[in-house]
Amino acid sequence: MKAGYINLDNWQLGFAALLIVLNLAISVWLRLGLARSLLVASVRMVVQLLLVGFILDSVFALSTPLPVVGIGVVMAALASVAAVRRTRRRFRGIYWNSLLSTLGAAFVVTGAALAGIINVHPWFAPQYAIPLLGMVLGNLLTGVSLALDRFMLGVARESGVIEGDLALGATRWEAARPLVSEALRTGMVPTINAMMVMGVVSLPGMMTGQMLAGAAPTAAVRYQIVIMFMIAAATALGTLAVILLAFRRLFNKRHQLCAARVQNVEKGDGGN
């Protein structure tokens, strides 16, 4: 590869790691009790990234579509699990619902962008497909988990109002519509907020990376614009799909609310 940028050797990484000493010092001084987690997190971050670097080196050398698609499915599956693990209320089949929505939305949008907008040849070129899919998934999973959480909270808290409407002759859709809208709005908010301040408050990581690699800022922002529209479309599609699937699971064909199918999880863990 031609290097329009400075390659970092192990010594330079070592010096960068010294920066964490700053965090450790603050944690010890103020007795935050974070020293252990900081160390574990740092080691995990370094190991995970070095590993992923090796894997991607070989992935980028792939010249057939099947392994690339396979890696994409694994990435989508991991994202869908992470999305569910952030919710506090679940039902049987929620992981499948999340997988179906995440996979479907991310693949449709990324595929359309690769083949129809960016015109990559071949369409599955991993150097484009994998990072774009990764960015779409990272944002999509936030939307899916927020929307699911809001929907389930609504089912739990507003079951009285919902059943009140059902008892007066509402269809399951009429009774659940306010909840569905609220959940979709909640899922879309982070993406809308991000677009609002993009370039003003935040310089997105991908854009920064392209500029470090020698791309002209005017060229880098073009990619960022495409990726933001991809993220927005995928989030809308994915949250809509996951909420509709949850709706079908919690409201049966006899227009009954099956609130007993909702189980509380002690606390949603962060996942990573």
Partner 1 sequence: MDGRTLWHDLDLTVRAGERVAVAGASGSGKTLLLRTLAGLEPVQAGDLSFQGRALADWPMPAYRARVVYVAQRPALPEGQVEAALRGPFRFRVHRHQPFPLDRARELLVMLGRDGKFLQQRTERLSGGEAQIVAMLRALLIAPDVLLLDEPTASLDARAVAAVEALVNGWLQGNPQRACVWTSHDRDQLQRVSDRVLSLEAVA
Contacts with partner 1 by CB under 8 A lie at 158-161, 163-171, 174, 178, 252, 254-257
DSSP 202: B
H helices of 86-201, in order, are: 94-112, 126-157, 159-167, 172-197
Q: Rounded to the nearest whole angstrom, what is the least distance from the CB of residue 157 to partner 1 in the complex?
A: 9
Bridging pattern class, strands 89-90 and 263-264: antiparallel
Our CB check for partner 1 shows the closer of 14 and 160 to be 160
Our CB check for partner 1 shows the closer of 1 and 260 to be 260
Our CB check for partner 1 shows the closer of 95 and 163 to be 163
Distances (CA, A) of 206 to 165, 191, 220, 270: 47, 16, 8, 24
Q: Rounded to the nearest whole angstrom, what is the least distance from the CB of residue 187 to partner 1 in the complex?
A: 21
Inter-residue contact 231 to 183 (CB < 8 Å): no
Q: Rounded to the nearest whole angstrom, what is the least distance from the CB of residue 261 to partner 1 in the complex?
A: 12
Q: Rounded to the nearest whole angstrom, what is the least distance from the CB of residue 91 to partner 1 in the complex?
A: 16
Our CB check for partner 1 shows the closer of 152 and 257 to be 257
Q: Rounded to the nearest whole angstrom, what is the least distance from the CB of residue 163 to partner 1 in the complex?
A: 6
DSSP 121: S
Q: Rounded to the nearest whole angstrom, what is the least distance from the CB of residue 158 to partner 1 in the complex?
A: 7
Cα 139 from Cα 235, distance rounded (Å):
7
If residue 13 lies in a helix (H) or strand (E), which one and from where to where? helix 10-18
Our CB check for partner 1 shows the closer of 115 and 163 to be 163
Q: Rounded to the nearest whole angstrom, what is the least distance from the CB of residue 167 to partner 1 in the complex?
A: 4
Cα 221 from Cα 204, distance rounded (Å):
9
Q: Which residues contact 176 (CB under 8 A, 6 or more apart)?
A: 162, 247, 251
Q: Which residues contact 144 (CB under 8 A, 6 or more apart)?
A: 80, 83, 98, 101, 102, 187, 238, 239, 242
Our CB check for partner 1 shows the closer of 171 and 193 to be 171
Our CB check for partner 1 shows the closer of 44 and 174 to be 174
Q: Rounded to the nearest whole angstrom, what is the least distance from the CB of residue 156 to partner 1 in the complex?
A: 12
According to DSSP, the residues that pair with 251 across neighbouring strands are: 257
Our CB check for partner 1 shows the closer of 147 and 179 to be 179
How many angstroms from the chain centroid is the CA of residue 63? 27
DSSP 88: S
